[in-house]
Amino acid sequence: MSRSRFFTPSEVSSHNTADDLWVSLLGRVLDLSPLAQRHKGDALLLPLLESAGKDISSWFDPDTKDVRCFIDPLTQCRRYYTPRGRFLHVPPPGPRSDWACELSPPWWRDPSYCIGLLSHKTRWIRVINTLTAQEQRLEVCSEETMEEVLARYLTYNSHAHSYTWKHAGVALNMSLTLEENGLRDDDPELDDLRLDHDLFSPGLLLHFNDDLTEA
């Protein structure tokens, strides 16, 4: 099976319009753009539009993976927790003749909207091309392998596969993560010492091999 893609919170936050609507939910990243287009103009879409690009895990129970519920102190009835107002696929609080029951799974349980996973911890690295002396700072997911980090870097250098990636003079195993390659995350220690993370981002050196990407 193919491995799920990881996204940084900043990547999710950049998709914050009705035509390009992402949210993160209990560690998953959902692209709700098709849902927004299908229900365009529906008032129940508004809470999702207001939360586009944000994490909405607080709306859901981590155990049941469903919308949080509570007991209404006035009616003693079970109600859904919708802090920004009732949203799509959430039943009304009481019986209504205009409520069409959905036989298909609600959007938060529909796997077709899930495009990947949200990183539990991101890291900043410096990628330094020893051939051109160009340096690029990248925010990457701690769960990503070096091959996946390389895929991010392709935006800045389409021939990145033609380089050997090294740190401290040792070639990195591209099938392993930064941590597995010995580049431990120093952020907790830097926080304790109140040091600027930007000044201590690990540097990865790219050594040119042969431009095989032109072949």
pLDDT for position 100: 66
Summary mean pLDDT of the chain: 91
| pLDDT tens figures, 78-88 | 889 998 999 99
Better pLDDT: 99 or 51: 51
CA distances from 184 to 178, 180, 189 (A): 7, 8, 11
Would you place residue 97 in the very low, low, confident or very high pLDDT band (cuts 50, 70, 90)? low
Which single residue is written with the structure tokens 């091959």?
147
Report the predicted TM-score, pTM, of the whole model to 2 decimal places: 0.87
* Residue 102's pLDDT band (cuts 50, 70, 90): low
Return the residue matching tokens 């129970």: 61
Fold of 6-118: Flavocytochrome B2; Chain A, domain 1 (3.10.120)
Three-state SS sequence of the chain = CCCCCEECHHHHHCCEECCEEEEEECCEEEECHHHHHHCCCCHHHHHHHHCCCCECHHHECCCCCCECEEECCCCCCEEECCCCCCCCCCCCCCCCCCCCCCCCCCHHHCHHHEEEEECCCEEEEEEEECCCCCEEEEEEECCCEHHHHHHHHCCCCCCHHHEEEEECCEECCCCCECCCCCCCCCHHHHHHHCCCHHHHCCEEEEEECCCHHHC
113, 157, 109, 111: which is closest to 136 by C-alpha? Answer: 157
Q: Look at 94 and 26; give whichever has higher pLDDT.
A: 26
**How many other C-beta atoms are found inside a 10 Å radius of the C-beta of residue 145?**
20
**Average confidence (pLDDT) over 51-72:** 94
Which tokens hold the place of 78? 């079970």
pLDDT in tens, 186-198: 888 878 888 877 7
In the chain, the percentage of residues whose pLDDT exceeds 90 is 75
- Give the residue extent of every domain in the chain: 6-118, 122-214
Does residue 210 carry a pLDDT above 60?
Answer: yes
In whole angstroms, what is the distance from residue 117 CA to residue 8 CA? 9
Q: What is the pLDDT of residue 215?
A: 47
Q: Average pLDDT, stretch 160-185? A: 95
Does CATH number 3.10.20.90 belong to domain 122-214? yes
Q: Give the closest residue to 202 by CA, choosing from 172, 156, 167.
A: 167
